[in-house]
Amino acid sequence: MDPMEALDFAKAGGLVTAIAQDDASGEILMVAYMNADSFRRTLETGQVVYWSRSRQELWHKGETSGNVQIVKSISIDCDGDAVLLRVEQRGGAACHTGKRSCFFRRLEGGAWVDEGVQVFDPDEVYGR
């Protein structure tokens, strides 16, 4: 069976949820979206390509920052509408904020606490 046939892109308007997990540590790095083209390109290149909902274009993770994600394995959920990407996070940061993981805020005593590791300065990398 073609790997594309197991995914249900139609359910969410052409997208599936994509979860990136560090293959070595198990840490959840980020959640994003993929369309059929980004999933196909990920399979072809071995590096993760997402679909940017805000820019409405393919997003080769790390193309600007150098923090690419190398695919180690891919799993899908029972409904075929979520993809788990076990990746090697090259460059150390998965988040556009320059943090190691997008999940760097933890709720503690009713307030959000930043416990993230800052890997790079986004102003320097993206020129904001």
The whole-number pLDDT of residue 93 equals 95
Running DSSP on this structure, what letter comes out for residue 120? S
pTM comes to 0.93
The whole-number pLDDT of residue 127 equals 82
Summarize pLDDT for 55-73 with one digit per residue, the tens: 999 999 999 899 999 999 9
Question: Phi and psi dihedrals of 125, rounded to 5?
Answer: -75, -45
The whole-number pLDDT of residue 128 equals 63
Long-range contact set of residues 97-100: C-beta below 8 Å, sequence gap at least 24? 97/122, 98/122, 98/125, 100/27, 100/29
Amino acid found at 53: R
The whole-number pLDDT of residue 70 equals 98
What parts of the chain have a pLDDT lower than 70? 128
